[in-house]
Structure 1
């Protein structure tokens, strides 16, 4: 950090102290952070061994540690940094895949200081941890053409030459590139010098061009600066998501490297304080997230705090937290008051979430090819009793008329015919090209139904369809794709059915309800399979979790001849009862797709999209579901 960064004045130190202990907006992400950091553990034993394939992983960032290494003043204390390194090594729960230091490893650039720094980093080397470092203004002077320094001799690219993540360095050794594997893909991280020459910029640009499909994270020492001075926490006077701006050198980095390289989606720098973040649009019109992480002005020089970027590719979010492993490792009874205050920083500039649609953001340089449609013949597995799909109809958006037929592609004769509630609009049912990404047919039907008033169109098997009499004594698998629209309303659309077996139960519970139905419940939009087995006079009910609107879902019901399980997206739900359930009772009446029956009459029609539906007379393993087959 330079001695003066010229940030504007702001609210008082009293305001800063008042807010330092508040959770603020960051409290919302606490539940999604790792169990490891929540318990305060500081690391573990054993060699570092992250999972490169799982959808959740962590990038650890270590900002300026300069006040721990001031050899010319005989002030060296490596223990905080080493404790943070032990935290990373024992990070199985966090799945830390890479550690990046942001520069100013030392206060004075002295050889004695770097000797101590190098010894601390030996701990990472001994455990095979992938990491990067870069030079800050307290480590070096001049730009990346400066030649030999204590930094380069101790922390230069020779340290990485045997690391599987080291990709390249520039001619001077001050700029390095690292490729790590996480979330089932490769990521490029650039560790760029405090001051880059034209040669350095050309090198970095070429590295990106040499890896045209990799998302890129830029780490450097000086890029953005807070709009506030170090007496103020930014959220008190402005938006915590836009409280930083480019520094003078940052403007050069933006103009010469970041703006024109769409692969760069995240940058993190130290040097300045307080922490902050902003988002800028690059030349392609896409977001680039620019963050400051620096705690050298905090107690114990920041104690080698870690900024943890928890990537969650399944949830399309990066959850960010800031922890101090050195303080977390201390005996709580012996922690000083300031150590206790700094265990975990919870203000909105230190604990927050960043929603990122990774597939969409990276589509310009690494598009994910859509899964090709699969022929019906491939889906008609042994035991298939019915298979309905909707890719043989009209143009997307055109209506499906009453009396039109959707063929049963299993060849078993269980064709569907369109029926409608009297007075329903002509477009109450329409063809659609919308579909689940894992769906065999790239098409669906759009239902515009409801119950208040009753309206809409649905499909029904014929009166003599073989499926009507099937009782599934040996087990079954029933699968369907569905999407609930944003305008779904519980008062109008609750208890709508994807699939219903007609016929009044006439047994215990409610004798007017149908024999079987895959329904969407009220309010929470949980999928429910309620059915009357042959084995008892009361129904069995499976319950799934709430389904988000405007998202495609695959639901499967699997019975092994004794018990029934519901799966959502190939995952078993919690509401699977242990009740004995043999087969499904039948009165020989038709099945409905998109219609719900009560007291012998249709009383509700589906609202949303229904894709492929398949019925098989045996239990299928998850790998043979339509989303996988």
Structure 2
């Protein structure tokens, strides 16, 4: 550095070498090596498939490795914290931002070497030289230095993430695995020569599908308000390397203070986030401050937090005022969230790899009662967006005879039910049906089984799994409160059920409330009750997988493979079916359909036993 409303059922019911990509927990991309990731998961402390993982960042530690007055204790404690928390926080890597030491002397490098050896072979990390580690007026062609002898290529060769170094030894790159995909991290020297920039470009060219995090000692500087802008050297890096390589989406540096951040637009029209983090001007030379970059691919964010493990480890009642002030930092440039649609941001150089359709035989697990899909395997689809003619049949691919037939409701126009090429990424069939149901005037369409279909009267006493894929439109316009997704026709009263909200409702249905909460209500075969489960609000504009699983005792509803909180606690065995049709696209009340479903419905399967999440159609 230079010097709403509460829900109740009765009130709501009416109201490096790139390898082929494979399935991951959140999405599919090129550059994910399944065997390597699986091996790491089996033997290491991190989960490479978890869509939530952490990149730890450590800025300038120079005042703690200063032979004029050194105390490496805070850095040592920070590294031990990362080791203790590695599994829990899913820490896949640590990146140092340069100025490891104050003067770059042999003695200071020996002290740093001793501290960082504590994580060698236990946590992969990168180092880069700052202007205090090497002669500040030199670039990467400076030749041998104590820094290079300590933190040069030889140190990193055995790290599983290490990809290589530049011929001069001052630049390196690593390939990280997190969130079910690979990421490139470039660790660049304090000053890159023309040769250094050419080397970095060569690394990017050799890994064209990997999103890239660039770390170096200087790119941006910030004003007192935390607004960052390119420095003179940062402008050179931006124009010569960053802006023309769409892969680089995040650039991190130390060197200056105060901390800050900015977002610039690259030549492809995409955002690049540039952050400066450095605390050497703060109490105790930064007190071994660490910054967490918590990637969450499921939420599409990077959550950033900054803290000193050394100070946070002191008992709160024993911290002096300065120690308490710096244990955790919470300003706008210390604790914040970066929103990134990872799939969209990386699509130009790493488009998601969508698995091919799976044949029906691949998903007809033992006990399958019915399986419907809306591609050529299960029907005769028309062009994308074309109406589904009344009477069109969606075959039950189990061969059990539970075929569905399309019908329009209430004199609805043919456009209320259309063929669609849209589908969930993990859906076996690459097709769906688009329903345009709604209220006032009531409109919609349904697919119903015939009067003799076996599923109409099945009791499912040993359990069941009902699953489907749905997508709600964005924007979600109109009143669609309690539209049905799927159900059995009939009146609960006709099944002898009197304890429910109304004898006019069907004995089993999956619906969506006005708040977009899933509602699954069932009248069990064995008792007069109506156990009802409620989900959270479902997203719009995004495919969702829903599974209802009953083990003969209790029902659990899963959304995207995760159990919801408000599953019914009552015992529930079987379904009090009445021999009436099973329906996709609406729910009856008093033997009449009001309005139909509004959105897309994909593959739907019913199995006469409880399946585990890894057996779902989305697996």
Q: Identify the TM-score tier after normalising by the shorter chain.
A: 0.7 to 0.9
| Pairwise CA distance, 1:48 | 8.9
Deviations 1:467-489 (A, max 9, x none): 22222233322211111223435
Answering whether residue 340 of structure 2 is matched by residue 353 of structure 1, we say no
Structure 2 match to 1:95: 90
Structure 1 match to 2:550: 559
Q: In structure 1, which of residues 74, 78, 82 is the aligned counterpart of residue 76 of structure 2? A: 82
Structure 2 match to 1:420: 408
Q: Which structure 1 segments of 5+ residues have no match?
A: 4-46, 235-242
| Separation of aligned partners in 1, 2:79 and 2:148 | 21
Structure 2 match to 1:233: 225
| Separation of aligned partners in 2, 1:561 and 1:189 | 51
> Which runs of structure 2 are paired with 1:186-335 in the superposition (5 Å)?
186-226=182-222, 228=223, 232-234=224-226, 243-335=227-319
Deviations 1:258-298 (A, max 9, x none): 22222222110011122111222223332221111111222
Q: In structure 1, which of residues 132, 136, 153 is the aligned counterpart of residue 130 of structure 2? A: 136
Please, what TM-score do these two structures have when normalized by structure 2? 0.87
Answering whether residue 530 of structure 2 is matched by residue 515 of structure 1, we say no
Q: CA RMSD in A?
A: 2.1
Question: Do the aligned residues in 2 keep the contact of 1:597 with 1:604 (CA within 8 Å)?
Answer: no
TM-aligned CA distance change 1:177 to 1:398, over 3 Å? same
TM-aligned CA distance change 1:270 to 1:480, over 3 Å? same
Deviations 1:228-250 (A, max 9, x none): 1xxx233xxxxxxxx22211111
Structure 2 match to 1:8: none
| Separation of aligned partners in 2, 1:551 and 1:181 | 26
Q: In structure 1, which of residues 47, 50, 65 is the aligned counterpart of residue 61 of structure 2? A: 65
> Which runs of structure 2 are paired with 1:493-512 in the superposition (5 Å)?
493-506=480-493, 507-508=497-498, 509=500, 510-512=502-504
Answering whether residue 600 of structure 2 is matched by residue 609 of structure 1, we say yes
Deviations 1:397-419 (A, max 9, x none): 11223333333333233222222
- 1:205 aligned counterpart, secondary structure: helix
Deviations 1:127-175 (A, max 9, x none): 6221111111122221111112222233322322332222212222211
| Separation of aligned partners in 2, 1:89 and 1:476 | 44
| Pairwise CA distance, 1:204 | 1.5
Answering whether residue 161 of structure 2 is matched by residue 183 of structure 1, we say no
Answering whether residue 541 of structure 2 is matched by residue 550 of structure 1, we say yes
TM-aligned CA distance change 1:377 to 1:117, over 3 Å? closer
| Separation of aligned partners in 2, 1:494 and 1:513 | 15
Question: Do the aligned residues in 2 keep the contact of 1:500 with 1:517 (CA within 8 Å)?
Answer: yes
| Separation of aligned partners in 1, 2:232 and 2:482 | 60
Answering whether residue 402 of structure 2 is matched by residue 410 of structure 1, we say no
| Pairwise CA distance, 1:94 | 1.6
Question: Do the aligned residues in 2 keep the contact of 1:468 with 1:589 (CA within 8 Å)?
Answer: yes
Question: Do the aligned residues in 1 keep the contact of 2:65 with 2:72 (CA within 8 Å)?
Answer: yes
| Separation of aligned partners in 2, 1:88 and 1:563 | 41
TM-aligned CA distance change 1:487 to 1:315, over 3 Å? closer
| Separation of aligned partners in 1, 2:72 and 2:419 | 66
Please, what TM-score do these two structures have when normalized by structure 1? 0.86
| Pairwise CA distance, 1:354 | 1.2
TM-aligned CA distance change 1:622 to 1:89, over 3 Å? closer
TM-aligned CA distance change 1:542 to 1:328, over 3 Å? same
Q: Which structure 2 segments of 5+ residues have no match?
A: 4-42
Structure 1 match to 2:389: 401
Question: Do the aligned residues in 2 keep the contact of 1:516 with 1:584 (CA within 8 Å)?
Answer: yes
Structure 2 match to 1:119: 114
Structure 2 match to 1:474: 462
Deviations 1:19-67 (A, max 9, x none): xxxxxxxxxxxxxxxxxxxxxxxxxxxx994333322221111111222
